[in-house]
């Protein structure tokens, strides 16, 4: 039942031979045998079958139901496997993408969400804290983040039930309980940790590549009414923990080498552990598109992010916190300087709404320039809102 991949992909296909993202798939005839697949165009390489047929030393890693074993194996193995996969692209181990089921690609260990877009932080600060400085005094000195809920990270295509909770309108005397009336999206880019790090051994900026396996798209669904009432003084909690969607494909970090770009100029001196002036350019020129019910509502530019993923990893571990295979950290909402580059409805509607309605479907896509005119895609992250389950 395997087929050959298409020998020619359309020019500029974001899933060409320069991308080759990893995912976990199963087929209808073997639904309980999820395994590693690699996307090429609109086909999936059955990497487990190809590895077994070739007697690859990595066949065991590719027959797993999650990417965690491969991710834990470390960069030399990641590079060896990628070389092997390139050698299998002309072979008959492919399945049509629409004939497989895609699963959550890795077991999420911890989930951290940052707040790294200066434009987003400024806009949200103005809306949530009018009359105060929109950027808090720490913002330019450290990448602000919070710990999210790893167990509610879901794969693209999973429906999202409208959350319920406490919310209090500014003019109401008391809080009330019910379905969120301000359900929002947050367009973000996620980084997936492969190589773990023991406690008390901070990961310097220069070691980012040794630890980060790949990149995905993230939609950090946010109930703004719940969030605005609950977050003082400890930050986001139930307003964001009900669901976080990730793409089914994890694109290897090195696929973005040609898209590396310098982050915006730093306006404040950085402590040495965050100083990236001598490191490889930490930004990535990823262009995101946000669609709601098929219509493009925004094009957030990831290159505009103030804090880089390498700085975020250095900051996450500088206190001695360990890293585990499967740790996911997201960039924070990606918003650019222009009104059509904002990464959430809170900003796109200047806090006035409308927010998501039941039945709305949100799709995030993104691509970055590769070498020789290629496009490097991130897999889409798709989610539809289902009505709240009220009693
Ligand atoms: O500034 C606030 O009070 C709230 C900020 C957010 O909701 C943003 C958040 O989750 C972090 C991010 O995605 O940038
Ligand atoms: Ca977020
Ligand atoms: Mg979330």
Question: Per the domain annotation, does 155 fall within a domain?
Answer: yes
Q: Is the pLDDT of residue 340 over 80?
A: yes
Pocket of ligand 1 contains residue 13 by CB under 6 Å: no
Nearest CA to ligand 1 atom 5: 124
Is 58 a residue of the active site?
Answer: no
Task: Tell me if 239 CB under 6 Å of ligand 1.
Answer: no
| Coarse DSSP helix, strand, coil percentages of the chain, rounded to the nearest 5 percent | 25, 30, 50
Tell the residue nearest (CA) to atom 12 of ligand 1: 332
47, 75, 103 — which closes off a domain? 103
118 lines ligand 1 (CB under 6 A): no
What ipTM does this complex have? 0.92
Residues 32 and 129 in one domain: no
H-assigned helices in the chain = 47-53, 59-62, 68-72, 75-87, 118-128, 208-211, 224-230, 309-317, 345-348
Residue 283 falls inside a structural domain: yes
Task: Work out whether the CA dihedral 380, 294, 127, 366 comes out positive or negative.
Answer: positive
CB atoms closer than 10 angstroms to residue 181: 14
Is residue 4 in a domain?
no
> For 300, which DSSP code?
-
Q: What is the pLDDT of residue 1?
A: 76
| Same domain assignment for residues 351 and 246 | yes
Check: CB of residue 215 under 8 Å from CB of residue 251: yes
Q: How far apart are CA 391 and CA 385, in angstroms?
A: 18
Of 33, 20, 18, 17, nearest to 100 (Cα)? 33
Output phi, psi for 318, to 5 deg. -70, -25
In angstroms, the CA 363 to CA 291 distance is: 5
If pLDDT is split at 50, 70 and 90, which confidence band does 4 have?
A: confident
Question: Residue 10: inside a domain, yes or no?
Answer: no
Same domain, 72 and 115: no
Q: Is 231 annotated as a binding residue?
A: yes
In a domain, 176, yes or no: yes
Determine phi and psi for 326, rounding to 5 degrees.
Answer: 95, -5
73-106 pLDDT per residue, tens: 999 999 999 999 999 999 999 999 999 999 999 9
Q: Over 80: is that where the pLDDT of 339 sits?
A: yes
Is residue 337 assigned to a domain? Answer: yes
140-166 residue pLDDT tens: 999 999 999 999 999 999 999 999 999
Distance of CA 212 from the midpoint of ligand 2 (Å): 20
Regarding whether 150 and 38 lie in a shared domain, the answer is no
The CATH number covering residue 30 comes to: 2.30.30.230
> What predicted TM-score, i.e. pTM, was given to this entire model?
0.97
Domain range spanning residue 69?
22-103
Is 284 found in the same domain as 188? yes
Task: Tell me if 129 is assigned to a ligand binding site.
Answer: yes
238 SS3 class: coil
pLDDT in tens, 184-243: 999 999 999 999 999 999 999 999 999 999 999 999 999 999 999 999 999 999 999 999
Q: What DSSP character marks residue 66?
A: S
For atom 11 of ligand 1, which residue has the closest CA? Answer: 115
Rounded CA-CA distance 151/259 in Å is 32
Supply 157's token pair. 């295509």
Task: Tell me if 340 is assigned to some domain.
Answer: yes
Domain boundary residue, one of 103, 131, 157: 103
**Domain final residue, candidates 80, 103, 126:** 103
pLDDT digits (tens, 9 = 90+) for 29-68: 999 999 999 999 999 999 999 999 999 999 999 999 999 9
Q: Is the pLDDT of residue 6 over 80?
A: no
Whether 67 and 198 map to the same domain: the answer is no
Q: How far, in Å, are 116, 141, 302, 322 from residue 313 at the CA level?
A: 13, 15, 17, 11
What is the best residue among 126, 143, 147, 186 to mutate for testing ligand 1's pocket, by most ligand atoms within 8 Å of CB?
186
What are the pLDDT digits (tens) for 266-304? Answer: 999 999 999 999 999 999 999 999 999 999 999 999 999
Shared domain for 261 and 196, answered yes or no, is yes
Question: Looking at the structure, do residues 211 and 126 belong to the same domain, yes or no?
Answer: yes
Residue 320's CATH number: 3.90.850.10
Residue 42 domain-assigned? yes
Confidence of residue 8 (pLDDT cuts 50, 70, 90): confident
Per the CB < 8 A criterion, the answer to whether 279 and 205 are in contact is yes
> Is 42 marked as binding a ligand?
no
Looking at ligand 1, which atom is closest to the CA of residue 145? 11
Task: Note whether 141 and 69 are same-domain residues.
Answer: no
Provide the percentage of residues in the chain whose pLDDT is more than 70.
100
| One domain, residues 176 and 299 | yes
* Count of Cβ atoms closer than 10 Å to residue 367 Cβ: 21
- 8-state DSSP, 10: P
Number of structural domains (the chain) is 2
Query: What's the whole-number average pLDDT of the chain?
Result: 97
Are residues 89 and 115 located together in one domain of the fold? no
For residues 260 and 237, what is the distance between their CA atoms, to the nearest angstrom?
Answer: 33
- Do residue 84 and residue 115 come from a single domain? no
């Amino acid at each position: 039942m395997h087929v050959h991949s298409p020998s020619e992909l359309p020019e500029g296909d974001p899933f060409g031979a320069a991308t080759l993202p990893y995912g976990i798939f199963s087929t209808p005839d073997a639904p309980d045998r999820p395994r590693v697949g690699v996307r090429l165009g609109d086909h999936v390489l059955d990497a487990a079958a190809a590895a077994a047929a070739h007697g690859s030393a990595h066949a065991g890693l590719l027959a797993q139901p999650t990417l965690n074993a491969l991710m834990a194996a470390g960069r030399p193995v990641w590079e060896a496997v990628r070389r092997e996969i390139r050698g299998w692209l002309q072979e008959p181990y492919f399945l049509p993408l629409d004939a497989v089921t895609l699963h959550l690609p890795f077991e999420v260990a911890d989930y951290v969400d940052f707040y790294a877009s200066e434009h987003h932080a400024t806009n949200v600060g103005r809306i949530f804290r009018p009359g105060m400085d929109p950027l808090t005094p720490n913002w330019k000195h450290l990448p602000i983040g919070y710990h999210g809920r790893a167990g509610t990270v879901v794969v693209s295509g999973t429906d999202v039930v409208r959350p319920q909770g406490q919310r209090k309108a500014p003019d109401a005397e008391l809080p009330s309980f019910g379905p969120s009336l301000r359900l929002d999206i947050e367009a973000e880019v996620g980084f997936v940790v492969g190589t773990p790090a023991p406690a008390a051994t901070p990961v310097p900026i220069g070691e980012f590549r040794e630890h980060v396996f790949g990149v995905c798209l993230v939609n950090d669904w946010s109930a703004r009414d719940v969030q605005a009432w609950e977050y003082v003084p400890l930050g986001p909690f139930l307003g964001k923990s009900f669901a976080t969607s990730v793409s089914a494909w994890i694109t290897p970090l090195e696929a973005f080498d040609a898209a590396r770009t310098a982050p915006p100029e730093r306006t404040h001196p950085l402590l040495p552990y965050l100083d990236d002036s001598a490191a490889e350019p930490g930004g990535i020129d990823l262009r995101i598109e946000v669609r709601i019910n098929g219509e493009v509502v925004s094009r957030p530019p990831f290159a505009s992010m103030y804090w880089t993923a390498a700085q975020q990893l250095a900051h996450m571990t500088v206190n001695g916190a360990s890293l585990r295979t499967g740790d996911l950290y997201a960039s924070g909402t990606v918003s650019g300087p222009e009104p059509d580059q904002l990464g959430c409805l809170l900003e796109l509607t200047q806090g006035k709404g409308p927010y998501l309605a039941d039945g709305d479907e949100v799709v995030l896509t993104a691509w970055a320039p590769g070498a020789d005119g290629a496009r490097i895609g991130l897999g889409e992250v798709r989610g539809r809102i289902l009505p709240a389950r009220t009693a």
